[in-house]
Structure 1
Amino acid sequence: MDLSSYHFLDAKRWSGRLWLGGWQSPTAGTAAVREPATGAELALIGVATPADVAVAVARAKAAQPAWAGLDHRTRMKLLLKAAAVLESHGDELVEWIVRENGAIRPKAQVEVAETVALFRQAAGMLTEAHGAVLPSRAGRLSYGQRVPHGVVGVISPFNFPMILGARAVAPALATGNTVVLKPDPRTPVTGGVLMARALDEAGFPTDVFHMLPGGAEVGQALVEHPDTRLIAFTGSTAAGRAIGETCGRLLKRMSLELGGKSPLIVLEDADLELAASNAAFGAYFHQGQVCMASGRILVQEQVAQPFAKLLAERARHLPVGNPATENVALGPIISEAQRNRIHEIVQDTVAEGAVLAAGGTYEGLFYRPTVLSGVKRGMRAYRDEVFGPVASIIPFGSDDEAIAIANDTDYGLSGAVISPDIGRALALGERINSGLLHINDQTIADEVANPFGGRGASGNGGNIGGPANWDLFTQWRWITIESRPTRKPY
């Protein structure tokens, strides 16, 4: 479908601009937004600079007290209006996600629906308790109050640009913070423009939200600015480490949601057809470009060979192509550099002794779903996050060996166990070092109501989402009140 037939994201409104107190022409020029499936130019976006970050943060800081001081029902109404705006333009947003992100349509539809839910959940936060009454002596009121940090910097990735921006933007705004968002430069429309359009159309006050597309230098300026008091970052572990070092030095809060090498354990008593179905989804959904992807599929050695055959058959029959024009299961990889990295990992792992059971080839940015069997410790596909459609099958003997392999990584995001023996599966799962755990499911799962966060190289454990949002986006202030001063012993 021709994107020019839509009006909510009509490029005439924002082409070559950025959202800084309104649509502004950038000083650094523009960049093309390209469709990964075809290479075609979809639009132009304004490119921000560190100087723009300084302006945005200053304006957001100035606007924050009035925003936090608004009646909670007013903020709630605005958040619900933003949700309604996004929902009413859902078909258009889906089309943009398909084209800009290379996503299949069902993935895009889920992303829109979950983003709408995120804004509604954020609105619901404002009906919850904002603190707690604490014990104290007679005649004295003592309570803890949740107060906003001030300005929150959000840096979002390309793979789920709409959800992974909104999951920080919406609760940050709900809790009285103002926000400066830097979307990934490869997906600035679905990661940023649509957010600016929705909040503007919903009637949010000027300077409560700014959106600055740009490269690493813009993100660095946002992290280093002394007036951003919380940084919510989703992206690579390498970038997360650098951000963590800076935030630590500047004594500011951070939420780091990073990479993963999540284990999916298939026990010998599992239904292999169902297990292969789950493994295929966990490895190939959105071309494997998911931090929670089933990066290592651990299969009990008695059933490893028939399981590998089933998974390879599925991989060979999954259609790959342009999701905007074809009914496919996998779309394109986001960039040539990422495709090359995926292929290098596959080739290196085969050279190290693994068996290429399916895939391992590509045309353009379309990489075939791949199965590597007999993967062992030390091989690249065993240790490196691939971020591509590659299923690495690792055989194991005992339950203890499965856990040793599962935990043989610096990452700790998600984990899953498949077995009809729930007690055994849960006992195994509870020994996996991960922030997320799923029994009789694969490793990719997220819902609006759950806390989300990883361990080790997968993040700093600063969970985001659901009940964790109050903890992340506010801090405690202790307050006491007495009817009159009491005499002190001085």
Structure 2
Amino acid sequence: MVTPGFLPAGLWAGKLFDGRWQAGSSVQPVLEPATGTVLGSIATADPAQVARSAAAAARAQRDWAGMPYEDRAQVLRRAAQLAEEHGADIVEWLVRESGSTRLKAGFEAKISAKALHEAAALPSRSIGEMLPSSPGRLSLARRRPLGVVGVISPFNFPLYLAMRAVAPALALGNAVVVKPDPRTAVCGGLAIARLFELAGLPAGLLHVLPGDAAAGAALASDPHVAMIQFTGSTAAGRKVGETVGRHLKKVSLELGGKNALIVLDDADLERAVANTAWGAYLHQGQICMATGRVLVQRSIYPRFLQTLVAKARSLRVGDPAAADVALGPLIDARQRDHAARVVAEAVAAGATLEAGGGYDGLFFEPTVLSGVDRGNPAFNEEIFAPVAVVVPFDSDDEAVALANDSEYGLSMGIVSRNVGRALQLGERLHAGLLHINDQTVNDEVINPFGGVGASGNGARIGGPANIEEFTQWQWLTLKGEAPAYPL
């Protein structure tokens, strides 16, 4: 059961957060995808509310950036402690509102707390360097907060994919306006507001405004917002990038992927299948890093396919709040229908449905497709559902060609007992993330995360990239007195 201690319904029901809990322009229900149960109601923001919040955030940011670094760090440390103390409540919301299994929800809650701990160390980091200059003149390059950072976050890892931007942005002296996906606005937005409220963050620095595309467009175009950090689909990201570009703002786009896992002929078969199942079926495949294509060397392909089909058929699907299951529901009917369409089109184009392909409500069966060539929709489209597409190859050169045959370039993995061979092959892959002897779904907070091609605009978030991402350079020179110029 969702308990009232951390997020009592009377606090947030029908409200959004602008430093205080306020009624929004409209209200919509919070639905549990597994059962359709109404868990409560949230307020949604219209463009006028976005404008008010952005202006208020800009006013609050100036004092926040001028506070002693230790005071900012203390707020982040307290938020991290609260995230750990209320971890059970947070997990329950992730399970019920986002359809996460308890395994996935527990991992997400822990990595989100870790993001807060890591961000707490940022205020005390060096913020610049001394540059060479002429005698009598100091030349400095220093990092300054951007101002107001807008965060548009998705439904699939709703807590973490918001927190990984919110926490470092605040730690580095910015204010933040978050627009979480309204389907997961409690676990992906209001929970974050509550953590920082309890941690003592000054009012006005964090705004959580669930809303639709109009709210997102307003955030991207608002003159008080200096940067947008967007995580979501490539189609939506292109629109955000166009809007932000017109307004000359900084933008970080973390988008989709059609990620390849390459299984070489010397791989441990059982381990390779286990990696594939984890990468393809974790959180019902609703992960940008999901293993969308499994490229298997032909000599082991028949045994691999047979073992993976057996694994897929053995996985239990059901309500993660009621039972210990491997897969929960997809987020909504639109996502389910998209997955069903791609699978049907794949079969019509010549693929073989080896396992799964059906659904009951929002519960989609773990699916295996074989016989998928380069022109098949299942080879090219991001499905965002539990569908493993298995493709044979003969040589390492062919594996590279197949893996790189995509507009995306987020994450790739290679499974092989020969690490040298795998590294040589990996050097030729176009991906922002590369894992030797691991599947494609990996993130540890301390790593720079991002893709290439249609998977993003080359931005990175996380670890050493955070200071670069959420601050901007300023050049400062200092002389004892003004020079006498000859004009």
Q: Above 0.5 in TM-score?
A: yes
Task: Map 1:371-390 to 2 at 5 A.
Answer: 371-390=368-387
How far is 1:304 from its partner? 1.1
- SS of the aligned residue for 1:126 comes to helix
Does residue 58 of the first structure (1) align with residue 55 of the second (2)?
Answer: yes
Identity, in percent, stands at: 54
Does residue 125 of the first structure (1) align with residue 122 of the second (2)?
Answer: yes
- SS of the aligned residue for 2:447 comes to coil
Aligned to 1:25: 23
Contact 2:27 2:44 in 1 (8 A): yes
Structure 2 stretches lacking a partner, 5+ long: none
Match of 2:262 among 249, 252, 265: 265
Structure 1 stretches lacking a partner, 5+ long: none
Aligned to 1:245: 242
Task: Map 1:441-456 to 2 at 5 A.
Answer: 441-456=438-453
Q: Following the alignment from structure 2 to structure 1, what is the Cα–Cα distance between the partners of residues 124 and 47? A: 37
- SS of the aligned residue for 1:141 comes to strand
Does residue 9 of the first structure (1) align with residue 7 of the second (2)?
Answer: yes
Aligned to 2:402: 405
How far is 1:487 from its partner? 2.8
Aligned to 1:35: 32
Q: Following the alignment from structure 2 to structure 1, what is the Cα–Cα distance between the partners of residues 18 and 173? A: 19
Aligned to 1:295: 292
Task: Map 1:173-322 to 2 at 5 A.
Answer: 173-322=170-319
Aligned to 1:432: 429
Letter in 1 for 2:444: E
Could you report, residue by residue, the CA deviation over 1:294-344 in whole angstroms, capped at 9, with x for unpaired residues? 111001111111111110000000000000011100000000111011011
Q: Following the alignment from structure 1 to structure 2, what is the Cα–Cα distance between the partners of residues 426 and 139? A: 51
How far is 1:29 from its partner? 2.1
| Number of equivalences | 487
- SS of the aligned residue for 2:95 comes to helix
- SS of the aligned residue for 1:164 comes to helix
How far is 1:486 from its partner? 2.8
Aligned to 2:98: 101
Could you report, residue by residue, the CA deviation over 1:408-445 in whole angstroms, capped at 9, with x for unpaired residues? 11000000100010011011112110000000000000
Does residue 154 of the first structure (1) align with residue 151 of the second (2)?
Answer: yes
How far is 1:101 from its partner? 0.6
Runs of 4+ residues deviating >6 angstroms: none
Q: Following the alignment from structure 1 to structure 2, what is the Cα–Cα distance between the partners of residues 78 and 453? A: 28
TM-score normalised to structure 2 length:
0.99
Could you report, residue by residue, the CA deviation over 1:82-103 in whole angstroms, capped at 9, with x for unpaired residues? 1111111011110110000100
Aligned to 1:414: 411
How far is 1:56 from its partner? 0.1
Could you report, residue by residue, the CA deviation over 1:148-184 in whole angstroms, capped at 9, with x for unpaired residues? 1111100000000000000000010011110000000
Could you report, residue by residue, the CA deviation over 1:429-486 in whole angstroms, capped at 9, with x for unpaired residues? 1211000000000000000100000001000011000000011100000001111223
Contact 2:217 2:243 in 1 (8 A): no
Could you report, residue by residue, the CA deviation over 1:50-99 in whole angstroms, capped at 9, with x for unpaired residues? 00001000100111110100000000001111111111101111011000
Letter in 2 for 1:217: A
Q: Following the alignment from structure 1 to structure 2, what is the Cα–Cα distance between the partners of residues 267 and 466? A: 31
Could you report, residue by residue, the CA deviation over 1:95-129 in whole angstroms, capped at 9, with x for unpaired residues? 11000010000111111111111111111012211
Q: Following the alignment from structure 1 to structure 2, what is the Cα–Cα distance between the partners of residues 451 and 118? A: 13
Could you report, residue by residue, the CA deviation over 1:254-291 in whole angstroms, capped at 9, with x for unpaired residues? 00000000110001111111100000100000000000
- SS of the aligned residue for 1:97 comes to helix
Q: Following the alignment from structure 1 to structure 2, what is the Cα–Cα distance between the partners of residues 258 and 348? A: 24
